[in-house]
């Protein structure tokens, strides 16, 4: 009987989301959690909707409950870290990104998020290491390379920053020109 009730609530929540009524879906997730306390799907969905609606403290609480219920789930830790970082709670975000990476070291988005948290805390040397991990896992994604050049320049490593721009030019020439201009490398901007 409880399994049927849970499925009905889940279907109703999904229908409300499809109909672009996230606020109306929230009570369905709360009721799903009454039927199945600590349910990963309900907690993650509730957190997503809460964050989408701008209810960030409640979203964080749902994500914290999710990592308590599923402490071995790297994606749960990543999502918690992402929201914490978004509201400037960088130390907590860093710890959650590190936990996600301890569980799944190939989670490239977590390396990038960790780098951003470290940059926000002026831990630039550590940010370089995280960005190098990110770009190693996602060699054709420009975001990690872009940040890596910025951080290298901030550390006074101009030659290394120029190398990153040159590398980025190989697969994202327009973005490389933008980055070169931003970093004040006029010779790189025209190639």
Residue 150's Cβ-side half-sphere holds a number of Cα atoms within 13 Å equal to 16
Structural domain boundaries in the chain:
1-70
Q: Is 59 exposed, middle or buried (0-12, 13-18, 19+ CB in 10 A)?
A: buried
Contact 107, 77 (CB under 8 A): no
pLDDT at position 3 is 86
What is the CATH number that goes with domain 1-70?
1.25.40.10
Q: Give the mean model confidence (pLDDT) for residues 158-183.
A: 97
pLDDT at position 1 is 78
- pLDDT band per the 50, 70, 90 thresholds, residue 2: confident
**pTM for this entry:** 0.89
């Amino acid at each position: 009987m409880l399994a049927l009730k849970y499925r009905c609530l889940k279907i109703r929540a999904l229908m409300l989301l499809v109909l672009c009524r996230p606020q109306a879906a929230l009570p369905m997730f709360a009721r799903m959690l009454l039927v199945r306390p600590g349910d990963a799907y309900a907690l993650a969905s509730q957190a997503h909707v809460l964050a989408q609606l701008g209810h960030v403290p409640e979203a964080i609480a749902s994500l914290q409950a999710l990592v308590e219920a599923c402490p071995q789930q790297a994606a749960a830790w990543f999502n918690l870290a992402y929201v914490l970082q978004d509201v400037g709670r960088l130390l907590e975000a860093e710890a959650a990104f590190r936990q996600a990476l301890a569980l799944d070291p190939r989670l490239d988005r977590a390396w990038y998020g960790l780098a951003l948290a470290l940059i926000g805390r002026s831990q630039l040397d550590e940010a370089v290491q995280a960005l190098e991990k990110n770009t190693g896992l996602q060699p054709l994604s420009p975001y990690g390379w872009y940040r890596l050049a910025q951080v290298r320049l901030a550390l006074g490593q101009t030659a290394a920053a120029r190398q990153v721009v040159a590398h980025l030019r190989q697969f994202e020439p327009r973005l490389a020109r933008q980055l070169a201009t931003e970093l004040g490398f006029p010779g790189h901007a025209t190639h």
